[in-house]
Chain A
């Protein structure tokens, strides 16, 4: 199954996700007009979500992203781990 969702981060930018999944997340693409430094690290964030049970809650997903952000010294502007997690949950419960 492939679903998309758009979420405007309060006080931030628009984040859009495209999620492919069965019981687990098979692919995630994150789009939007936000800033992530360094830019290449968006792939690390996307990859960190592969294999995740689609029933995971927003907080768990946000924590996974937060760990990747901290480990790789990623700076996010206009987007947050919680915002991406929210969009992913929006997509898979649609």
Chain B
């Protein structure tokens, strides 16, 4: 099987989520090839898990003020602040027959690609079930998976740098809690690549590319017109709507 790799691009939250769903559907219909893609979120955005409450998790007012987008993902998991300069997200979408049948086991297999990528930078990271990757005891990557019609989608973020204050201003934590003490405790639980190695975000991308393609047959590709049209439709009519984003 030959994978298509779509290289790092910066798109808005609604497009990013719409393209993931487009691929899930089109691979099921055998219209798109199995794909590994890398992207950044521009403008910065908050994504929430499928089962989370937008009002409960996100300071929507602050997002509007700062020009930060907010979107509900197709996948479960928690709320994530995606800084436009502070992280890289990957998605891997392919028939589920390419992966272990067990969801828990397939998290481990796909997360190993991230771990291999970080190892290429000289950073030792470990998989922490259910869906995290840690450096030491601190989280550097969160991942989420769904399966639909025999196709698996997993996406995840790898933190390049961390702005805790900004993160707290858009995620719902009461103002009183954004004390130095709280920030310290997050810094004790979360880390980023740039804390461990002086590398550029492009170096991180190169290493993740290596981690995800190692041992795979692949070629670089771009979105087809049909994919862009379908993603464009979902971007406007689903992921950009209040109905979807505030459905819980």
One of B52, B53, B56, B103 near A37 (C-beta < 8 A)? B103
Give the interface centre of A16, A33, A37, A39 by most chain B CB atoms within 10 Å: A33
Least CB distance from A82 to B in Å reads 17
Do A77 and B79 touch across chains, with their CB atoms under 8 A apart? no
Instruction: Scan A1-38; emit 1 where CB is below 8 A from any B CB, else 0.
Output: 00000000000110010000000000001111111111
Q: Does B22 contact A (CB under 8 A)?
A: no
Q: Using Cβ atoms and an 8 Å threshold, which residues of chain B touch A36?
A: 51, 76
Least CB distance from A49 to B in Å reads 16
Instruction: Scan B18-42; emit 1 where CB is below 8 A from any A CB, else 0.
Output: 0000000000000000000000000
Task: Report, as a range, how many residues of chain B touch the other chain.
Answer: 20 to 34
One of A13, A37, A78 near B146 (C-beta < 8 A)? A37
Least CB distance from A46 to B in Å reads 11
Do B248 and A34 touch across chains, with their CB atoms under 8 A apart? no
Bound-complex Cα distance A39 to B77 (A): 11
Q: Does A53 contact B (CB under 8 A)?
A: no
Q: Using Cβ atoms and an 8 Å threshold, which residues of chain A touch B248?
A: 29, 31
Instruction: Scan B144-175; emit 1 where CB is below 8 A from any A CB, else 0.
Output: 11111000000000000000000000000000
Do B130 and A75 touch across chains, with their CB atoms under 8 A apart? no
Query: What secondary structure prevails in chain B residues at the interface with A?
Result: loop
Do B51 and A31 touch across chains, with their CB atoms under 8 A apart? yes
Q: Using Cβ atoms and an 8 Å threshold, which residues of chain A touch B146?
A: 37-39
Do A30 and B104 touch across chains, with their CB atoms under 8 A apart? no
Do A75 and B103 touch across chains, with their CB atoms under 8 A apart? yes
Do A35 and B56 touch across chains, with their CB atoms under 8 A apart? no
Do B77 and A33 touch across chains, with their CB atoms under 8 A apart? yes
Q: Using Cβ atoms and an 8 Å threshold, which residues of chain A touch B201?
A: none
Do A32 and B52 touch across chains, with their CB atoms under 8 A apart? yes
Do B50 and A39 touch across chains, with their CB atoms under 8 A apart? yes
Bound-complex Cα distance A42 to B146 (A): 14
Do A30 and B51 touch across chains, with their CB atoms under 8 A apart? yes
Least CB distance from A34 to B in Å reads 6
Q: Does B8 contact A (CB under 8 A)?
A: no
Give the interface centre of A12, A39, A42 by most chain B CB atoms within 10 Å: A39
Q: Using Cβ atoms and an 8 Å threshold, which residues of chain B touch A39?
A: 50-51, 74-76, 146
In residues 54-101 of chain B, which contact A (Cβ within 8 Å)? 56, 74-79
Q: Does B49 contact A (CB under 8 A)?
A: yes
Instruction: Scan A78-91; emit 1 where CB is below 8 A from any B CB, else 0.
Output: 10000000000000
Residue of A whose beta carbon sits closest to that of B78: A33
Do A32 and B51 touch across chains, with their CB atoms under 8 A apart? yes
One of A12, A34, A38, A75 near B51 (C-beta < 8 A)? A34
Q: Using Cβ atoms and an 8 Å threshold, which residues of chain B touch A31?
A: 51-53, 56, 248
Bound-complex Cα distance A30 to B103 (A): 22
Known contacts A39-B50, A75-B103, A77-B103; is-contact A33 B56 (Cβ 8 Å): no
15 examples of A-B residue contacts, CB within 8 angstroms: A16-B53, A31-B51, A31-B52, A32-B49, A33-B49, A33-B51, A33-B76, A35-B75, A35-B103, A35-B130, A37-B147, A38-B146, A39-B50, A39-B75, A39-B146
